[in-house]
A and B are shown apart, each in its own frame.
Chain A
Amino acid sequence: MSVSELTPDDEKATAVADSAAPASKRDLNIVFWIFPAFFGVFGIVFVPLLRVIPPPRPDVGYAGMISFFEAHHTTIRIGLVLLCLAFGGAAVANGYVAYQMKRMTSGPVFAYVYMGGMAVGVLPGMLLVAVCFDAASMRLDRAPRVVGFLYDLGMLSFNGSLGCFSTAYLAFAIAILLDRNKIFPKWLAYLTIWQIVTELLATMMWVLPAGPFAWNGSMTFWLGTAIFAIWLNCQGLMLKKATDQQPAGTRPPE
């Protein structure tokens, strides 16, 4: 329907749509695909390259930590190069989820909480460990205590930055439960609550250096990562569904 054919009744309905929103969803689709692309790169960087997932042991001595960096210093630096190029994708992925959240009847405030929480979390939760590991790998002849410091600082910040993410997830879950537009399905809210529970468990990583509750423990790490992987895939799939179901030419309210 072109602008000239609009009747006065249509005016209000398309008022938002008319202000330069294109009638195709190409922009949404481009942005959506950055989400899986970024997380794909994230997986490659953090698993085989940086070796942060699965994590190196917390209960090794300085010699063990040094040998870790000696063994992996090449892949760690390749990982950093990739991460530096790609980590803007985190902002896009989180921003796009927030965009879809703005379409909910629960209002835009939860979207901003989500975006804020995730944005703050990414510094300790993603970048710091990468930088610490690269700094340690760059000069392998540092004093063992210094190497150990970088090792611990990196791993603790990666695992411990859960508060930011928990807040963001809480906003996401509540927004979905209150939403009457059904942008995301209710079961995704419940999965998100499980995510929050795993973050609660992860607080034990700060306290115990070994065993099932350490940063490499079965309870805190392995189970938590399994649930995270499931949750992330579900969020991505539902994000695609929300993108597909968004009527072309509309945009969320301001």
Chain B
Amino acid sequence: MTESRSESAVLPDPPAAATAKAPHLPGDGAIWVMVLGDMIIFGAYFLIYMVHRAMTPEAFLAAQQHLNVTVGVINTLVLLTSSWFVVRGVCAARDGHPERAARLLCGAGACGLAFIAIKAYEWSTEISHGYTVHNGFFSFYYVLTGVHVFHVTLGLLILGLCVRELSVPARRRISFVEQGATYWHMVDLLWVVIFGLLYVMR
């Protein structure tokens, strides 16, 4: 995001992708500080959750039954698909098709919006059934999914910035788009863990 502008507006920044011999770090070092650090912090959240679960496993299991797994599966598929769009978008940008890349990122954004909408529906259903933060398991559920949905919202903002980046001929910095993509995949990755731990594990 503080990259100097490339003179060649359409051609991608070198190197466009890795070869077997030349490893390529997507984005820049700073975004990986963000992503790895966020993964570690969430990892700590997950482990604290597991410890509390181990203290009252029956209560947690009983509460878990009230989660709508089908909705969880749909949300997982939605995010996985959004990540697929993002990867295709980055490839398109590297191949010199910024308009197609922008459309693919918009597709990812649409999936992200769908995720948030489904999550809102899920929360409202559970709250209307009386499962609030006063339940041990559900306090973790709301906090983990809440912080995650905050990350998704931030991700939508970042995707929007990437689309704008691709739409302006004078910019189109591949590194910027790669950074956004890396962040988005992290959001997807964290949800996969949340799904496994909260929805499926017993």
Contacts and interface: CB of A to CB of B under 8 A. Distances in A.
Interface of A: 177, 179-180, 182, 185-187, 190-191, 193-194, 197, 200-201, 204, 207-208, 211-213, 218-219, 223, 227
A218 B143 contact: no
Nearest to B136: A211
Nearest to B29: A187
Contacts of B150: 197, 200
Contacts of B28: 186
B52 interface: yes
29 contacts: A179-B2, A180-B2, A186-B1, A186-B28, A186-B30, A187-B29, A187-B33, A187-B34, A190-B30, A190-B33, A190-B34, A191-B33, A191-B37, A193-B34, A194-B38, A197-B150, A200-B146, A200-B147, A201-B147, A208-B133, A212-B52, A213-B133, A213-B139, A213-B143, A219-B45, A219-B48, A223-B41, A223-B48, A227-B41
Contacts of B147: 197, 200-201
B21 interface: no
Contacts of A211: 52, 136, 139
A23 to B, nearest CB: 29
A207 B146 CA distance: 15
Contacts of A207: 133
A186 B2 contact: yes
Given A187-B34, A212-B48, A223-B45, A201 B143 contact: yes
Given A204-B143, A219-B48, 14 more contacts: A177-B1, A179-B2, A185-B30, A187-B33, A190-B31, A193-B154, A197-B150, A204-B133, A207-B133, A208-B139, A212-B139, A213-B133, A213-B139, A218-B48
Contacts of A227: 41
Chain A CB within 10 Å, residue with most, of B2, B31, B33, B146: B2
B44 interface: yes
A194 B39 CA distance: 11
A182 B139 CA distance: 40
A191 B140 CA distance: 23
The 10 closest A-B pairs by CB, nearest first: A190-B34, A186-B30, A187-B33, A187-B30, A218-B48, A213-B139, A219-B48, A223-B44, A177-B1, A212-B52
B129 interface: no
Contacts of A204: 133, 139, 143
B26 to A, nearest CB: 15
A194 B41 contact: yes
Nearest to B44: A223
A204 B45 CA distance: 14
Interface string B122-146: 0000000000011010011001001
A54 to B, nearest CB: 16
A221 to B, nearest CB: 12
A211 B29 CA distance: 37
Contacts of B41: 194, 197, 223, 227
Contacts of A194: 37-38, 41
A201 B146 CA distance: 9
B145 to A, nearest CB: 12
A52 B146 CA distance: 28
Contacts of A218: 48
A193 B41 CA distance: 12
Contacts of B38: 194
Contacts of B154: 193
Contacts of A190: 30-31, 33-34, 37
Chain B CB within 10 Å, residue with most, of A179, A193, A200, A219: A219
Contacts of B2: 179-180, 182, 186
B48 to A, nearest CB: 5
Contacts of A193: 34, 154
